[in-house]
Amino acid sequence: MSLANKLALERRGRLAAERLLELKQAELSAANRKLGRHAAALQGEIVETRAEVANVKTENERVKTELGQANQKVEIAERRLWHSVQTITDGFAFFNSDNRMIAANSSYLAIFDKLEIIRPGVHYVTILQVLTDEGIVNTGKLAAQDWREMMTDRWMQPQPEPITIRLWNGQYIKLVDRRGQGGDIVSLGLNITESVEYEKQLKTARAEAEAASRAKSAFLANMSHEIRTPMNGVVGMAELLGDTALTEEQRLYVDTIKNSGEALLVIINDVLDYSKIEAKKLQLHPEPFDLERCIHEVIMLLQPSARDKGLTLLVDYDLFLPTVYVGDPGRVRQVLTNLMGNAVKFTSEGHVLVRVTGVPDIESGQATVNIAIEDTGIGIPEDKIQHIFGEFNQVENERNRQFDGTGLGLAISQRLVELMQGEMWVTSEDGVGSCFGFKIPLELGNAELPAHPPVPAGLRRVLVVDDVEANRTILRRQLEQIGMGVVTCASGAEALKKLDNIDLVLTDHNMPGMDGLELAEAIRNEGCETPIILLSSNTSFAANDPGASHLHAILQKPLPRADLFKQLQSVGPLITRKEEPEPPKVRKMRVLAAEDNKTNQLVFRKMVKDADIDLKFAANGIEAVELFQSFVPDMIFMDISMPKMDGKEATMKIREIEEGSGGHIPIVALTAHAMDGDDQGILASGIDHYLTKPLRKPEIHGMLRDLCPPDAPPPLPDDDDAALQAG
C-alpha cells in the first residue's frame, strides 16, 4: 500500500475515532444532565422527608406528655377512689368473673381479723369456708355446710338478692352484691346492727303499747258491761214506778230518772262497743238477712221523731239489686241506725233519703252494696268533716250544741264498716245538708236476682197520690217494674178527677189540703168503690180515724217492696171489674231490637215498657236477619257491634232480601258512641236513622211514634214524654 493510501486510511480512522469520541462526549453530558436533575429531585425529597420527620417527632413528644398527664390523672383518681373505699365504714370488695377477690377495703378485711388467706386472689368459696370454720358468722339454725351451700347458690344468681348475716359478736351485716359487665362482682357489706336493734326495740314498744291499749279497752268494756246491768234495773224500775199512782211532782222525778237512765245506757252501749272494737274483741256474726227490711226496721224506729219534726223518710232501693245477703244484720243495723239517726237528729225540715245501689256479681256470689243517707239538715263545716270521725268528737258550734250525743257514733260506725271490709265517706255542705255513705262487700243470700213478682190478678192501673215528688217517683218505679200502669198525682183534689179506670188507689196519709183519710171519704162519697191503701208514717193514729173504715189496708211508710207487693196481691180478688167490651182486635206494632248485651236489652225493655208494642230481641246479626223474615217486624232497632254478624252486615243482608221481595223496613242503628265520620259508613249499609247510646227514652219513643205503621194503633199517647219530662 502506498503511503498516500496509508495516510488516507489513518486519517479516516482518526476521523471516525474523533466522531465516536464526540458522540460519547454528547452521551456523557446528557447522562450527566439527567443525573444532575435526579440529584436535584432527590435533594428536594430529602428536605421534605426531613421536615416530616421533624413534625412526627414533635407530635410524638406531645402525645407522650399527654399520656403521662392522663396516667397521672388515672393514678390520682384511682388513689382517691381507693382512699374513699378505704374510708367507708362498710365492707367493700370486688371479685372477678372467676369469683376471685380483686381487692377489698379494710372494713371488709377487718371481719377476718388479719387472716393471711383472705387477700386478693382468694376464691369466694374459700371466704365462706373461713367464715364458718373460724366461727366468724353465726349460721343460726343452719349447719355450716348448709349455710355455705345457701350462700354459694345465692352468689351464683345473676343478681343475688340482698341478705343479712349475723356475726359472732351480734353484729348484723347486710350483703348487697351486684354483678357488673364482664361478670365482675361488687360486694357491699353494710353494718345495719343499729337499725336492727332499733327495729327490735320499736317492735317491743309497740307490742307493749298495744297490750296496754287492749288492757284499757278490755277494762272499759268490762266496766261498761258491769254498769249496764244495774242501769237496766234502774230504768226498768223507773218504768214500773211510772205505771203506779203518782203525784205530778213524783211523775216528773220518775220520768227524769228514766230518761237520764236511758241516755246513760246509750252512752254506755257506745263505749262498750267502741272498747270491744278497740280490744279486737268484736266479732261479726254473719247470717242471711234482708237488707231492705233491715233499713225499713230502722226507719220504723226513727219514724216517731221524724214525724214530730215533720220530716219525710224515704227509701230508694235499687230495683235490680237483690235484698237478701249474708252479713251481720245486727252490726249493719247499728251503722244504719247511727247514720240515719244522725240524719234525723240534725235535720229540722225536709227529708232524709236512704239510697241503696250496687252491682251484684252472680258468678262470684258477691255484691258491693252502696248505702247513702242524704239529709237536708244543718250540714257540716268543711274543716270539721274529718274531725267528726274521731272518738268523742262533735262539731263545736252554736247550732250543733243543741243536740245531745256522745260523739262516738261515727267512730264506731266507721270501725264497724272497716271490720266488714268496707269504707265510709261523707260529703256535706254547711247549712244545706249532708250525705253519709258507706259501701260493704256482701255475699249474696240467694244467688238469683229478685224475681219480678207476678202482676196481681185484676190490677192494671194504680193511682198514686202523694204530695212528695220523690215518693211518687219511687212508687211509680216499683209498680211499673211489675208491669202495672201508674197514674200519679200530688193532691187529693187532683186524685178525685183521675179515678176513671183505676183499680187501686195508693195514697199518702199526710198531705196538705186534703189528707189521705179525707180523700178516702171523698172517693166513697163519689160512689167509687175502688180499693184504697193508705201509706202512713203513723199507722196507729190512722187506724183510729173514722175514715179508716174505707181503707183496704194501712201500711207503714216507707215500706219494703216485698210488703207492698204482698198487699197488692191481696187486693186483686177485691176488684170487681166492670165487663169491658173486648177491645177491637188490632195487631200491635211489631218491633225487633237486635242487641247482644243482656243489660242493654233490659234497659231497652224498660224504656219501651209503656209502649203498646210487640217486642222481640235478636242477640246477633244472624238472628236479626232470621227474625226479619219470620217475625216480619214494622221496624228494627239495630245495635251496630254484635258478635257473629254485626249490625251493618245484618242491615245489608236485609236490604238484599228486600231487593227480591220488595219493601223497605225502617232500621234505626244504635251506636255505642257519637260517630265521628263513621255515620257515612253506617248510612251506606242501608240504615235509615241512628241513635247514640246511652239510650234515651224520649228518642226511642219518638222513633216508635214516627215509624208506627198505619194498620197498628199508636204505641204511645202523644203527650207521654212531654208529661214525663214536665213531671
Residues that bind ligand ADP (CB under 6 A): 338, 342-343, 346, 375, 377-380, 388, 394-395, 400, 405-411, 434
Indicate the residue among 254 and 408 with the shorter CB distance to ligand ADP: 408
Indicate the residue among 426 and 669 with the shorter CB distance to ligand ADP: 426
Indicate the residue among 346 and 690 with the shorter CB distance to ligand ADP: 346
Shortest spacing between CB 271 and ligand ADP, in angstroms: 12
Q: Are 541 and 520 in contact (CB under 8 A)?
A: no
Shortest spacing between CB 562 and ligand ADP, in angstroms: 28
Shortest spacing between CB 339 and ligand ADP, in angstroms: 7
User: Look-up: residue for cell 435526579?
Assistant: 38
Shortest spacing between CB 571 and ligand ADP, in angstroms: 38
The sheet with strand 163-167 has its strands ordered as: 101-104, 91-95, 185-191, 172-179, 163-167, 137-138
Shortest spacing between CB 428 and ligand ADP, in angstroms: 7
The sheet with strand 689-692 has its strands ordered as: 613-618, 589-594, 635-639, 667-671, 689-692
Q: Are 191 and 90 in contact (CB under 8 A)?
A: yes
Find all residues with CB under 8 Å of 632, minimum gap 6, and list them.
590
Alpha carbons 219 and 221: distance in angstroms, whole number: 5
Q: Are 281 and 218 in contact (CB under 8 A)?
A: yes
Give CA 625 to chain center in angstroms.
40
Indicate the residue among 316 and 375 with the shorter CB distance to ligand ADP: 375
Q: Pick the closest to residue 174 from 157, 159, 156, 192 (CA basis).
A: 192
Shortest spacing between CB 269 and ligand ADP, in angstroms: 12
Shortest spacing between CB 222 and ligand ADP, in angstroms: 23
Indicate the residue among 394 and 685 with the shorter CB distance to ligand ADP: 394
Alpha carbons 718 and 720: distance in angstroms, whole number: 6
Indicate the residue among 377 and 456 with the shorter CB distance to ligand ADP: 377
Shortest spacing between CB 387 and ligand ADP, in angstroms: 8
Indicate the residue among 97 and 397 with the shorter CB distance to ligand ADP: 397
Q: How far is CA 599 from CA 345, 359, 362, 415, 700, in A?
A: 40, 12, 14, 35, 17
412 C-beta neighbours (distance < 10 Å), count: 24
Shortest spacing between CB 437 and ligand ADP, in angstroms: 12
**Cα dihedral 186/187/191/193 (nearest 10):** 130
Peptide bond into 558 cis (omega under 30): yes
Nearest residue (beta carbon) to ligand ADP? 405
Indicate the residue among 394 and 651 with the shorter CB distance to ligand ADP: 394
Reduce the DSSP state of residue 264 to 3 states and report it.
helix
Q: How far is CA 339 from CA 226, 379, 407, 411, 712, in A?
A: 27, 13, 12, 11, 53
Indicate the residue among 350 and 365 with the shorter CB distance to ligand ADP: 350
Shortest spacing between CB 537 and ligand ADP, in angstroms: 20
Indicate the residue among 378 and 568 with the shorter CB distance to ligand ADP: 378
